[in-house]
Amino acid sequence: MKQSFSADTQPIIRDLQDRDFTISDDNPAVVRGEATAFVGVDAPFEVVPLANDRPLTIISAISTAVDSGRVPILAVDQDCEHTVGEFLSPPFGLAGSQNGTKQFYATEGRIRLADGSYACTPTRGPLSWTEGPESESAGPRHLQLAANDEPIATIESAEAIACPAPHRDQFQYRYRRNEDGQFVVYSGTESVGTYAGVSAMRADGIQPIPAPLIPTQHIASNPQLARATVLAVVADGSVRYSGTVSKQ
């Protein structure tokens, strides 16, 4: 999910005008009209061309529109229709969900720890973040990091992953820059390697731990508007909608 593209929003705007919506000259364009019949929510739209189909790009575009009280219309080309549509489909904004356990997308962000260092792990395999099902005690749902499906770290809750920053002891490995600008990798308090940069770390089998994308943290201002997001695919000058759009 890392393909870049540039969708032309003009066919979308013309199509919405043909449906008797009013379009502003703002950037991004704001659309007003009988929204309820179109998407089931009484709110203006915001036409947003996505720069790429990375999960963080998608949720950021949605969050910006929702924070302004608007339903996002995400403009994409047909090459990225599937990946963006998959992100918007139930379970919304999640990589997966089964038996109450949520699997999160990984982002380009890193896990910054309370001492200013960053979490990493000595594996070349895939990393995944999950949140366990609700317990009978109604306590927080733990966030778990796995490498090759083997648990390697547990955080007390999704909220604790960023604020406050996790304590360094919650991850076995971490890295930080030294005075020479190099990255030093630690296991506990012991230095286990020094590298010119992240590429050198990766070449040696050590990868930074990616921050999970937790959708509820991005759409808290109005989850209803976020889940009404419309995907508008531009292909050969025509527009195809998906999401909660009514046939008109």
Q: What are the extents of the domains in the chain? A: 10-92+216-242, 112-208
CA distance 136 to 202: 41
* Total residue length of the chain: 248
User: Are the C-beta atoms of 174 and 186 separated by less than 8 Å?
Assistant: yes
**pLDDT tens, 134-181?**
766 666 788 999 998 899 999 988 888 877 889 999 999 999 999 999
pTM of the full structure: 0.87
Q: Among the listed ranges 85-99, 179-193, 205-219, 232-246, which one has the minimum average pLDDT value?
A: 232-246
